[in-house]
């Protein structure tokens, strides 16, 4: 506490007595706001790598204390990590991809790219967690190298700040039990910004400055992200599919996530256990050697240019010509991972004697990309269009017994189960054409149900444009007694014996 009378003397002292060292208080790890240096925590304190080696040095100080389980660990030697982990990743595309991903986050912010959640899903006890442990060993993540998917929004904010411009490994997606928790936790990570909060001094002082981060997440769980959100009665939006990338992890029922068991003949469980133990014993040294290579032994900006060239080269080999825009964005993410893997190979962190070559790195990432393409099936259709079609199909499946059966006698009509959402129109047996039919069963959904229920939450104008273009709804067709067919622009169908007409859309799914 200072005597107010002496405060002036203190202020003069601070202004007059200049120091030789500039000190910067930082609220997160990773890149400084001006991208001048990269900060990494260690037991000895904050380690700073400067982008420009000729630049005047300054002292960076974290404005918060890091706990022991938050500090990066270093165990063993680099050669031991290479022998016990990198060697066994050879010919195993999942393990190689996890390792390449670990080296990627350093380049995202300088390249103006956002973080992504790469989620590997599949049956339990197939080795998915081992992939996270292997990736975590590159950075020296505490304990197993990964933590469970759970926590509060505030806790996740702190976690994202700790892992800014580095790798966060999260296991068991099903720990997120509700859609609200997923929106709070998972979306908070990829949105890269804290919530707006009022200043602690109260009204009149505005909000606190929002904290930002750019974190790459390697995740695992039995269900895919999309399936888990669907199970919780939620929906993943089209644009989010390129930030939540669902990748099938299990390659075969026999070997799980592995392709080559090396000396662990026909026993994937032993290989998984060995890698789990090795990831705990040898960690932290790969990222140190990699940072020395890109910041000290080489010019970082030259490395960035090389990354861009490698990305373009990988995309040229692997991106389908007729791919939808979202496919291109996912491919762009994977191209960054392929490029980082090549740089790690050139740095000798990933030794050539264990099969790490540029061709091998490109092919490992290409395998993951092909698996993702197979998962999404038709890669020429944008994900927003798929969402619209899936919503229409889901609505029809849930309400197929709620269509008024037009053109049938009262006694033969199936009863409406809940509510009438549209009309199922059939050609009456041995009767004249009387209703809006050709020679097949058709379903007409009432306009209000299409807009308020089937396409709820989506942009209606955009949806209507898409469903017309893709023929998910088709023009109203009517067949008269002389077999003449007419197409009407106003889609009206007869409804009940009163012969009233209702505005409908004919489904063509």
SS (H, E, C) 305-328: HHHHHHHHHHHHHHCCCCCCHHHH
Q: What local confidence, expressed as pLDDT, does residue 477 receive? A: 63
Q: Indicate the pTM of the whole model.
A: 0.78
Determine the Cα–Cα distance for residues 419 and 412; give it in Å rounded to an integer: 18
Which of 341, 326, 378, 264 shows the shortest CA–CA distance to 93? Answer: 341
The pLDDT of residue 238 is 56
- Reading the block at residue 8, the tokens are 């002036």
Enclosing H/E stretch for 217? strand 216-221
* pLDDT string in tens for the chain (509-residue length): 778 778 888 888 888 988 777 788 888 889 988 898 999 887 777 888 988 876 666 788 887 777 766 678 889 999 999 999 999 999 999 999 999 999 999 999 999 998 899 999 988 888 899 999 999 999 998 888 898 888 776 777 788 888 899 999 999 888 887 776 776 777 788 888 776 666 655 555 556 677 889 999 999 999 888 788 777 766 666 556 678 899 999 998 889 999 999 999 888 999 999 999 999 999 999 999 999 999 999 999 999 999 999 999 999 999 988 888 888 989 999 999 999 999 999 999 999 999 999 999 999 999 999 999 888 876 677 777 878 888 888 888 888 888 877 655 555 555 665 678 887 776 555 544 444 444 567 788 888 888 888 888 788 888 888 888 888 887 666 666 666 766 554 455 555 545 566 677 788 87
SS3 52: coil
CA 331 from centre of chain: 12
Burial of 403 (0-12, 13-18, 19+ CB in 10 A): buried
Separation of alpha carbons 285 and 287, rounded Å: 6
* Whole-number pLDDT of residue 368: 96
CB environment 298-330: b (16+ within 10 A), e (fewer): eebeebeebbeebbebbeeebbeeebbebbebb
Structural contact between residues 195 and 153, judged by C-beta atoms closer than 8 angstroms: yes
pLDDT in tens, 37-77: 999 887 777 888 988 876 666 788 887 777 766 678 889 99
Give 83: exposed, middle or buried? Use CB within 10 Å, 0-12, 13-18, 19+: middle
Q: How far is CA 202 from CA 8, 205, 209, 344, in A?
A: 28, 6, 14, 49
DSSP code per residue over 163-177: TTTSEEEEE-GGG--
Q: What's the confidence (pLDDT) of residue 4? A: 79
- Separation between Cα atoms, residue 466 and residue 327, nearest integer Å: 19
Please tell me the predicted confidence (pLDDT) of residue 481: 62
pLDDT at position 437 is: 44
Other C-beta atoms closer than 10 Å to the C-beta of 476 total 20
Identify the pLDDT of residue 202.
Answer: 54
Query: Phi/psi of residue 198, each to 5°?
Result: -65, 150
């Amino acid at each position: 506490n200072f005597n107010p009378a002496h405060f002036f003397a203190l202020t003069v002292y601070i202004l007059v007595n200049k120091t030789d060292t500039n000190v910067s208080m930082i609220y997160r790890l990773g890149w400084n706001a001006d991208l001048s240096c990269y900060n990494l925590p260690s037991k000895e304190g904050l380690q700073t790598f400067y982008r420009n080696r000729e630049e005047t040095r300054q002292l960076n100080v974290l404005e918060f204390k890091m706990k022991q389980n938050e500090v990066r660990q270093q165990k063993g030697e680099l050669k031991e990590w290479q022998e016990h982990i990198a060697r066994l990743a050879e010919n195993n595309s999942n393990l190689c991809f996890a390792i390449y991903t670990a080296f990627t986050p350093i380049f995202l912010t300088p390249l103006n790219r956002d973080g992504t959640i790469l989620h590997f899903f599949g049956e339990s006890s197939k080795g998915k967690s081992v992939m996270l442990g292997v990736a975590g060993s590159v950075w020296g993540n505490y304990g197993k190298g990964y933590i469970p998917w759970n926590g509060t929004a505030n806790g996740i904010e702190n976690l994202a700040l700790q892992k800014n411009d580095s790798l966060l490994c999260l296991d068991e997606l099903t720990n997120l039990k509700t859609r609200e928790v997923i929106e709070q936790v998972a979306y908070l990570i990829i949105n890269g910004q804290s919530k707006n909060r009022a200043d602690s001094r109260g009204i009149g002082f505005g909000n606190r400055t929002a904290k930002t981060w750019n974190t790459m997440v390697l995740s695992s769980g039995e269900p895919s992200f999309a399936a888990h959100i669907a199970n919780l009665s939620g929906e993943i939006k089209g644009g989010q599919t390129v930030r939540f990338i669902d990748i099938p992890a299990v390659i075969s029922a026999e070997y799980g996530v592995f392709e080559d068991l090396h000396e662990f003949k026909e026993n994937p469980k032993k290989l998984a256990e060995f890698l789990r133990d090795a990831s705990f014993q040898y960690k932290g040294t790969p990222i140190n050697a990699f940072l020395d290579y890109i910041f000290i032994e080489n010019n970082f900006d030259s490395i960035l240019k090389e990354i861009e060239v490698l990305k373009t080269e990988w995309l040229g080999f692997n991106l389908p010509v007729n791919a939808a825009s979202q496919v291109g964005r996912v491919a762009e993410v994977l191209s960054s991972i392929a490029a980082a893997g090549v740089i790690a190979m050139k740095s000798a962190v990933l030794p050539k004697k264990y099969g790490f070559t540029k061709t091998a790195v490109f092919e490992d990432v290409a395998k993951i990309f092909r698996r993702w393409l197979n998962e999404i099936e038709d890669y020429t259709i944008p994900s927003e269009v798929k969402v619209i079609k899936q919503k229409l199909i889901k609505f029809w499946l849930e309400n197929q017994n709620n269509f008024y059966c037009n053109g049938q006698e009262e006694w033969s009509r199936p009863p409406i189960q809940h509510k009438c959402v549209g009309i199922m129109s059939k050609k009456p047996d041995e009767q004249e054409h009387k209703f809006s039919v050709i020679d097949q069963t058709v379903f007409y959904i009432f306009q209000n149900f299409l807009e308020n229920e089937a396409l709820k939450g989506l942009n209606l104008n955009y949806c209507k444009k898409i469903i017309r273009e893709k023929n998910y709804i088709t023009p109203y067709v009517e067949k008269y007694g002389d077999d003449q067919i007419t197409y009407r622009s106003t889609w009206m169908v007869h409804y009940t014996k009163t012969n009233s007409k209702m505005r409908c859309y004919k489904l063509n799914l």
